[in-house]
Amino acid sequence: MPQYFDRRNLDFLLYEVHDAPELTKYLYFEAHDRETFDLVLDSVTQIADTLMHPHYRDVDRNPPELKDGKVTVHPQIKPFLKAVGEGGLIGAGFPFGKGGQQLPEMVGACVDFIQMAANNGMMYTGLTSGAANLIATFGSPALVDAYVAKMLGGQWQGTMALTEPQAGSSLSDITTTAEPQPDGSYRITGQKVFISAGDLDAVDNVVHLMLVRIKGAPKGTKGISLFVVPKFRLEEDGSFVDNDVTSTGIYHKLGQRGTPAMHLTMGDRGDCHGWLLGEANRGLSYMFQMMNEARIAVGITGAAIASAAYCASLEYARERPQSRRLNEKNQLDSPQTMIINHPDVKRMLLFQKAIVEGSLSLLLESARLSDLAHVSKGEEKENYTLLLELLTPVAKTFPTEMGVRSVNEGLQVLGGYGFTEDFPLEQMYRDIRITTIYEGTTGIQSQDLLGRKMTIQGGKAPRLLFAEIDKTITEANTHETLQPYAKMLGEEIQRLQKVTSTLLPFAQQGDYERFLMDATLYMELFGLVTVAWQWLKQGIVAQNALSDNSPGESNTDFYEGKIQTMKYYFHYEVPKTLGLAKRLQDPEVLTIVKEREVKM
Amino acid sequence: MKILVCITSVPDTTAKISFTQDNTQFNKTGVQFIIGPYDDYALARAVELKEQHGGSLTVLNVGTSDSDPQIRKALAIGADDAIRIDTEPTDSYFVAAQIAEIAQKNSYDLILMGRESIDFNSGVVHGLVGEMLGIPSYSPVMKLEITDGKAEFAREIDGGKEFLEADLPLVLGCQEPIAEWKIPNMRGIMTARSKPLNVVPATPMDDLTVLKKYTLPAPKGECKMIAAEDAEQLIALLRTEAKVL
């Protein structure tokens, strides 16, 4: 079976770098140990190997269809949802009292990574888990009883219904309306677009977590409420009735074709009912709980697709003979060499490995912060939360933006074959493209990083981050071989701080357009440095293993591979910060619209 | 009904195999271990039979603590408890004798295992256990039902299948499609931690087998490309190099 992720690397990051078993010292996670984590990962791999990965191509070639108001999805979706629902994987991270097993986010992130690497077109369960979590957290006991168990069991699908035709990134402009009814429900009217898994025949019901404006609510984000709007509503007599949510259109997408993206219309017959979740007008803050989880999940998807592409291109490069080595190119009687032996191909493979494994490490770092924030209290909790908030837009953006480039290099390794349907790279190239767009585009994430996260509480979050990075630098300095990289990372932090201090005065002067004009470039710089930190962390663990133990031949290869990839990242990727820093400090302004517009 | 399922802990089918100490020791470094795939079929059917008929399901492994993750997986899949006979499984007779010793004490109605392990593939343990216990044994069994205290089962034979019926107790070596492999669910994984795993010492025995050395098969030769229309060259190479004609 073709490989789509490296379990050895996953174990390395989860156990050796980020020390997941350390979490089991906390009361909340004490029911777990490394053995339960391993069993979970084994089970998910078995599901991914048997129910997901074999259908990667077929799910893409046979996308969902909307006919006579009904959406038919690939027949493999139903057994997959049954397996993960019955397997308890959808709600594995939920508390024991809410139908879950209190699995740490770190392990949950690995679960998502394996599934998305196997077949990212089947992206159903994360949506259901997030939606169910919102109901479990903010819903009345009646709502929790009615919905959560069915959703976690995989019988009902969950969605996040935010976007409207006129309100994509600008959620303050949504117009879907709710009118209070005497029975306590609300009558919903409006439209939602791009609703992933918004309708499908593989489940008995679809439960939309919908942002809606209650009639008379204040304008802007302060007037948005969160509603549960099911496809079929449960009547008092226990029967299910059509809730007047119509599938009006289905989008024909570039990638991730296994999951339908729907255009939904609510209240065509005036009979669409919704139930308010939590307090009125606080919907957006509630939804951000799901949105932040979803942003990390999108980052995981980016890293996962890049992982599958890396595995496929590595396998090809090891088996495809072509030409002789550059120093032997005139020796035409000698056999052709495998393309992995060509320096440019090796560079492309190292680039992919550096991006995939660096991204995954950053994502697990974020998941670890989420777990620690969950189990700690007081100032400690506040610090973990701040760090997580700072890293969330980076953990969404770096794995997706760099993932797109990584898959591009993977396709390039295959040459002309990469452009054909005979190999999976073309599909991966299409699939990963959406990840820089949904749950907040790269532009939105970048504005969030620079415009909000860098400045909250007087810049406390970046101070905490730089202190963490300093600890890693100090540790790396104990190894002579890592000292040059520790020094480089220290210089990069200084460069990042200098760039930040050049930009912050614009915000202090109230010129936000100038402040955020190149936020995306700032994000790129920030991401490069943050992942350099993650690579130095991996380098320390690898160096410790090589220095202290007798790791055995295969482990020695693995750890030496880590050191080599860390070096690649520092020598090839990190220097790109120079150009970014130069531009970010350049006083020339070319993108802000002026009174007399320069013609494009 | 009391069911015993014997499982082996074997290298993953994709693991790279190497040897150390002058080719006398299997190098376990970096090797992923799994429940023997045929044992996994036996376990899956045993879980189904327990669900249908009630009773108890015990898994047994002859091995060191290195096997504990595979035993925990079997508990997560649905076994009630486990016994590990704490010793290196040196050869088939030794393993069979250890299993028989436990089975003798506990009077199981049904003893299931894979038709063979996938490391040494000797495929004789089920027969030896049956002989040692004085009860029938059959292998390879691909279908199994229990009705009114009798086992009805199908066994693969040369050129077809044999349908048999036998009284319990008996020993069966299993293979696909007796059941589909089961994937542990979250609840099973969590409850596996609290299920009993009893570690017992091995019954002392003389070594009947002395391992002298391991050798790996010769590596695959390079592929030779022959023009499609050149059948003569193909025949010549099959005669002179491959020596299969």
pLDDT tens-digit profile, chain B (245 residues): 999 999 999 999 888 888 988 999 888 887 889 999 999 999 999 999 999 999 999 999 999 999 999 999 999 999 999 999 999 999 999 999 999 999 999 999 999 999 999 998 999 999 999 999 999 999 999 999 999 889 999 999 999 999 999 999 999 999 999 999 999 999 999 999 999 999 999 999 988 888 899 998 887 776 777 888 889 989 998 898 888 88
Q: What is the pLDDT of residue A1?
A: 61
Is some CB atom of chain B closer than 8 A to the CB atom of A550?
no
Contacts 24+ apart (CB under 8 A), A172-175: A172/A219, A172/A220, A172/A221, A172/A224, A174/A211, A174/A212, A174/A213, A174/A224, A175/A213
Instruction: Specify if B177 maps to a domain.
Output: yes
Instruction: Specify if B130 maps to a domain.
Output: yes
Over residues A469-485, mean pLDDT:
97
Domain that holds residue A532: 454-600
- The letter for the amino acid at A367 is A
Residue A553 has pLDDT above 80, yes or no: no
Using one digit for the tens of pLDDT, what is the confidence trace for A80-97?
A: 999 999 999 999 999 999
The C-alpha of A25 sits at a distance from chain B's nearest C-alpha, in angstroms, of 16
Q: Is A439 a catalytic residue?
A: yes
Q: What is the mean pLDDT of chain A?
A: 95
Interface A–B counts its CB contacts (< 8 A) at 62
Interfacial B residues in 93-122 facing A (CB < 8 Å)? none
Using one digit for the tens of pLDDT, what is the confidence trace for A126-182?
A: 999 999 999 999 999 999 999 999 999 999 999 999 999 988 778 888 999 999 999
Confidence class of residue A46 from pLDDT cuts 50, 70 and 90? very high
Sign for the pseudo-dihedral over CA of A73, A77, A82, A87: negative
Strand partners, B110: B3, B170
Using one digit for the tens of pLDDT, what is the confidence trace for A200-214?
A: 999 999 999 999 999
Strand partners, A241: A233
ipTM at complex level? 0.86
Cβ contact A88–B193 (<8 Å): no
Over residues A580-588, mean pLDDT:
97
Is some CB atom of chain B closer than 8 A to the CB atom of A84?
no
d(CA A69, CA A433): 29
d(CA A468, CA A428): 35
Element (H, E) at A562: helix A553-568
Q: How many domains are there within chain A? A: 1
Confidence class of residue A549 from pLDDT cuts 50, 70 and 90? low
Contact A321, A364 (CB under 8 A): no
Instruction: Specify if B197 maps to a domain.
Output: yes
Burial of A382 per CB tally in 10 Å (0-12, 13-18, 19+): middle
The C-alpha of B13 sits at a distance from chain A's nearest C-alpha, in angstroms, of 11
Residue A245 has pLDDT above 90, yes or no: yes
Cβ contact B193–A35 (<8 Å): yes
- Torsions phi, psi for A55 (to 5 deg): -105, 15
Measure the CA angle with vertex A235, ends A230 and A236; round to 5°: 140
Residue A433 has pLDDT above 70, yes or no: yes
Q: How many domains are there within chain B? A: 1
Three-state DSSP at B97 gives helix
Element (H, E) at A186: strand A186-196
Residue A307 has pLDDT above 90, yes or no: yes
The four Cα atoms B26, B184, A294, A282 give a dihedral, to 10 degrees, of -150
A8, A31, A87: residue with CB nearest B183: A87
Q: What is the pLDDT of residue A548?
A: 78
d(CA A449, CA A297): 18
Three-state DSSP at B152 gives strand
Peptide bond into B140 cis (omega under 30): yes
> Which residue among the candidates A409, A439, A492, A573 is catalytic per the annotation?
A439
Sign for the pseudo-dihedral over CA of A115, A118, A120, A125: negative
Over residues A14-34, mean pLDDT:
97
CATH number of the domain residue B85 falls in: 3.40.50.620
Closest by Cα among B180, B142, B177 to B161? B142
Instruction: Specify if A591 maps to a domain.
Output: yes
Interfacial A residues in 272-291 facing B (CB < 8 Å)? none
d(CA B56, CA B41): 18
Over residues A279-304, mean pLDDT:
93
The 3-state DSSP composition of chain A as helix, strand, coil percent (nearest 5) reads 60, 10, 30
- Residue A74: which residues within 8 A CB-CB, separation 6 or more? A55, A58, A59, A62, A63, A64, A258
Q: What is the pLDDT of residue B74?
A: 98
Instruction: Specify if B222 maps to a domain.
Output: no
- Torsions phi, psi for B201 (to 5 deg): -70, 155
Helix axes A519-548, A483-508, angle to 10 degrees: 160
Element (H, E) at A431: helix A425-432
pTM for this model (two decimals): 0.92
Is some CB atom of chain B closer than 8 A to the CB atom of A422?
no
Q: Locate tokens 């019926």: which residue?
A: B165
Most A CBs within 10 A among B186, B197, B220, hence the mutation to make, goes to B186
Element (H, E) at A45: helix A34-47
Using one digit for the tens of pLDDT, what is the confidence trace for A380-411?
A: 999 999 999 999 999 999 999 999 999 999 99
Locate A577 and state its tokens.
């910060």
Is some CB atom of chain B closer than 8 A to the CB atom of A553?
yes
Instruction: Specify if A584 maps to a domain.
Output: yes
Q: What is the pLDDT of residue A585?
A: 98
- Residue A49: which residues within 8 A CB-CB, separation 6 or more? A1, A118
End-to-end C-alpha distance for chain A, whole angstroms:
50
The C-alpha of B96 sits at a distance from chain A's nearest C-alpha, in angstroms, of 28
Q: What is the pLDDT of residue A2?
A: 66
Three-state DSSP at B206 gives coil
Most B CBs within 10 A among A43, A45, A129, A558, hence the mutation to make, goes to A43
Instruction: Specify if B60 maps to a domain.
Output: yes
Contacts 24+ apart (CB under 8 A), B17-22: B17/B216, B18/A553, B18/B216, B19/B213, B19/B214, B19/B216, B22/B213
d(CA A195, CA A188): 17
Contact B154, B118 (CB under 8 A): no
Measure the CA angle with vertex A408, ends A404 and A413; round to 5°: 150
d(CA B94, CA B204): 10
Contact A277, A226 (CB under 8 A): yes
Instruction: Specify if B202 maps to a domain.
Output: yes
Over residues A43-61, mean pLDDT:
96
Closest by Cα among B25, B23, B47 to B35? B47
Q: What is the pLDDT of residue A330?
A: 84
Instruction: Specify if B131 maps to a domain.
Output: yes
Is some CB atom of chain A closer than 8 A to the CB atom of B194?
no
Instruction: Specify if A598 maps to a domain.
Output: yes
Burial of A569 per CB tally in 10 Å (0-12, 13-18, 19+): buried
Between A351 and A290, the more confident residue is: A351
Confidence class of residue A329 from pLDDT cuts 50, 70 and 90? confident
Instruction: Specify if B72 maps to a domain.
Output: yes
Helix axes A343-375, A378-413, angle to 10 degrees: 160
Locate B68 and state its tokens.
């504990």
